[in-house]
Amino acid sequence: MTARTVLIATSNPGKLRDFAGAAAAYAITIAGIPGFSSLPPVVEDGTTFEANARKKAEAYSLAAPGELVLADDSGLEIDALGGAPGIHSARYAAEEPHAAESNTDDEANNARVLRELGNVPHEDRAARFVCVIAVAKDGRTLQTFRGTAEGVILEAPRGQHGFGYDPLFYFPQIGKTFAELSAEEKAQYSHRGAAFRMFLSWYQQQA
């Protein structure tokens, strides 16, 4: 591995695209951990985004000795739903999201959000994406970085890009949903892009 490659602990192609988009301007290569799919999954039973990110980064960094490994935990917080789906964002369509052992389908998750918001008016559909990135080496967290993006949940999905709740997440600053942006555009505005830029600033100081 060169000094300009960063390993990401995820098998989610959408997350890898997001990180690659954020790293493009910095001449840094994003790569998954070799053999990641064969590693035992980490149980995400933390009560915060940071706890889950740290747990994943520390566990997966043991599979890449001596390397910096990034893991993130992220999700959508909707004010009208008391901050839900929150840390259960990827499993929200499950009957008991907190007990689900695997992620549920993006479309099903989006459908549940729309169903629960029901007749909530546009002005009361404020939401934010939150991302916490943890960077670890040899089983120890070195630093964490938190990024957010404030937006509004639409009444129907828009856009063909992105993943997760991106088609519902309208970003007033640019008048588009995150699913209407390229990976590079999304990196400029997204919670993951914000957290990753904080990591990059830290990373460049380590060199």
pLDDT digits (tens, 9 = 90+) for 115-142: 999 999 999 999 999 999 999 999 999 9
Average pLDDT of span 95-113: 89
When pLDDT is cut at 50, 70 and 90, the band that residue 207 belongs to is low
Per-residue pLDDT at 2 exceeds 70? no
HSE-CB at 51 with a 13 A cutoff on CA atoms is: 7
Mark whether 72 is an active-site residue: no
Q: Which helix (H) or strand (E) holds 51?
A: helix 49-61
pLDDT of residue 123: 95
**For position 146, which CATH number holds?**
3.90.950.10
User: Count of domains in the chain?
Assistant: 1
Tell me the residue range of the domain where 62 lies.
5-206
Q: Are the beta carbons of 146 and 126 closer than 8 angstroms?
A: no
pLDDT of residue 1: 42
Q: Are the beta carbons of 187 and 174 closer than 8 angstroms?
A: no
Average pLDDT of span 148-162: 96
Distance of alpha carbon 113 from alpha carbon 155, whole angstroms: 10
Distance of alpha carbon 94 from alpha carbon 25, whole angstroms: 38
Given 73, 79, 106, 138, which residue is catalytic? 73
DSSP-assigned states of every residue in 91-158? GTTSSSGGG-SSPPPHHHHHHHHHHHHTT--GGG-EEEEEEEEEEEETTEEEEEEEEEEEEEE-SS--
